[in-house]
Chain A
């Protein structure tokens, strides 16, 4: 119902703006008349209140439509299962959240991003990780794949196969980290009486 109403509303608004633009382009509207009407609206208190409140309504409607659209998008991206009392849907962003939190618990990972897709074959997880230099990449990635797959199956109670792809985007050395920290600490040092003119 809400979606239909917002679609009708925005169609009317867009048609109105389009008609105005066409009339303006084909010189059907007198420019002086527009200026007179705009000046009247600008000076009259009642008109200003009406225009201001309609502006507020438009902003609220905009938020409402954004919510409807984002809600629809989220509705499509879910994993669902049924319980005796009703259905349970888990958004894929929740799965992404879980993977992110799981990876930050491992000391080898500096940064991680995950994209989860639900396909007919199962659940597809794509990870982009930044590792620390001391890590043995083949061993660690195999371990990470195993942890993520088993944890998702355990937490969400999913029996479907989980395919975890890992992309190691960067390896951060400890030296690099120390350098950055030193630079920061040097920046933080304040020179006494710096900036005081005598």
Chain B
């Protein structure tokens, strides 16, 4: 559920939602990404006025390794492998910068093409 780190003063835990939010914002920075897909949970939260910054991003931790699964919609006219590669690199960098953890896998799922 969370990524843990020890300091002299105690334990630091980073929740998966935090990593998901970092990935969400980093992915949207890339030119060619239209939006991140929403799941039922985020749709329900949006419906009641609580906006989430993680969409349907799934963060899985196994031991010390982290896998991030991002479903996204790409803008029409962009080369999908190029956009996916840029998103993976940007997310990797953003997670490393923010948490000092290198994600093992960044899985991109292209769910659609938008204008």
Residues of A within 8 A of B (CB): 63-64, 67, 74, 78, 81, 83, 85-91, 93-94, 97-98, 101, 154-157
Contacts and interface: CB of A to CB of B under 8 A. Distances in A.
B113 A154 contact: no
A57 B95 CA distance: 36
Interface residues of B, number: 27
B81 interface: yes
B84 interface: yes
Given A64-B40, A94-B113, A157-B79, 7 more contacts: A67-B39, A85-B89, A88-B81, A88-B84, A91-B110, A101-B115, A157-B80
Interface in B88-115: 88-89, 92, 103, 105-115
Nearest to A91: B111
Contacts of B106: 85-86
B80 A90 contact: yes
B85 interface: yes
Given A67-B40, A156-B81, A83 B111 contact: no
Among A74, A83, A85, A87, the one with the most B-chain Cβ atoms within 10 Å of its Cβ is: A85
